[in-house]
């Protein structure tokens, strides 16, 4: 039995989330169906990062175990079966004890905003036509590097052992009428990034002082956080692993 990581990217607009759910089209469900069609057997998948409904991914992973011979030609075969909104980018053999979720050392996300109406960004970026102070936004983001407990930014009914996250990058940038928030961490809580973005934008608009922002972080109370930020502006951009990938033939 060998273990493989399968790298995917996808437009999340048409999916009810990443992980298989009853009566909803999901990324995992679509890929498992495609693999069943190709390999003529059920191959369960384990996912690396569970993106919410409507969230996109430039890079995400599953792993699976099989005795079948897996070749690079199967990348083309799977893409021919999958809907256009999901693409298999790579399949690599890994050690049999490698785990795509627990072995990840860093996850990176980008949240995209545009301040001028743009039909080509519809469904890919949040249209936010309000004056924003980028300097204040960055000052708010800098505060995140001083904290590890982000219980305030975890949605209710989330079962986790810890709310600690090691954020190593939190950066706002602007290109013309587009604004980007980039963040790296070893892990993220459910709804965390959308809550961070929505609440920091209050700082950027002068609705929340930096002192009040610090209090929100320390409060450990999700009721102080704006989780209304839409999913379609959020992208899982990269997942980093130890260097144990092996190319398949």
For every residue of the chain, which 3-state class applies, written as one string?
Answer: CEEEEEEEEECHHHCCCCCCCCCCCCHHHHHHHHHHHHHCCCCCCEECCCCCCCCEEEEEEEEEEECCCCCCHHHHHHHHHCCCCEEEEEEEEECCCCCCCCCCCEEEEEEEEECCCCCCCECCEEECCCCCCHHHHHHHHHHHCCCCECHHHCCCCCCCCCCECCEEEEEEEEECCEEEEEEEECCCCCCHHHHHHHHHHHHHCCCCCHHHHHHHHHHCCHHHCCCCCCHHHEEEEEEECCCCCEECC
Q: Which of 5, 12, 54 shows the shortest CA–CA distance to 229?
A: 54
Q: Which of 101, 109, 80, 78 shows the shortest CA–CA distance to 91?
A: 78
> Which residues are catalytic, by number?
52
Separation of alpha carbons 67 and 56, rounded Å:
31
């Amino acid at each position: 039995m060998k273990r493989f990581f399968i790298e995917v990217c996808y437009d999340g607009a048409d999916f009810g989330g990443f992980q298989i759910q009853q009566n909803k089209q999901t990324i995992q469900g679509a890929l498992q169906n495609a693999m069943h069609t190709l390999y003529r057997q059920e191959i369960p998948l384990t996912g690396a990062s569970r993106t919410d409904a409507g969230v996109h991914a430039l890079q995400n992973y599953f792993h699976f175990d099989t005795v079948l011979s897996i070749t690079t030609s199967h990348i083309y075969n799977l893409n021919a079966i999958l809907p256009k909104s999901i693409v298999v980018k790579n399949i690599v053999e890994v050690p049999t004890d490698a785990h795509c979720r627990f072995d990840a050392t860093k996850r990176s996300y980008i949240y995209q905003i545009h301040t001028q109406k743009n039909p080509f960004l519809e469904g890919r970026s949040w249209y936010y036509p309000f004056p924003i102070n980028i300097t204040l936004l960055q000052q708010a983001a800098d505060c995140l590097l001083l904290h590890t407990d982000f219980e305030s930014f975890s949605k209710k009914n989330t079962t986790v052992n810890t709310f600690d996250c090691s954020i190593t990058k939190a950066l706002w940038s602007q290109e013309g009428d587009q604004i980007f928030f980039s963040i790296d961490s070893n892990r993220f809580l459910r709804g965390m990034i959308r809550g961070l973005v929505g609440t920091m934008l209050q700082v950027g608009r002068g609705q929340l002082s930096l002192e009040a922002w610090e209090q929100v972080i320390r409060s450990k109370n999700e009721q102080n956080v704006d989780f209304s930020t839409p999913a379609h502006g959020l992208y899982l951009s990269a997942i980093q692993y130890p260097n144990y990938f092996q190319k398949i033939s």
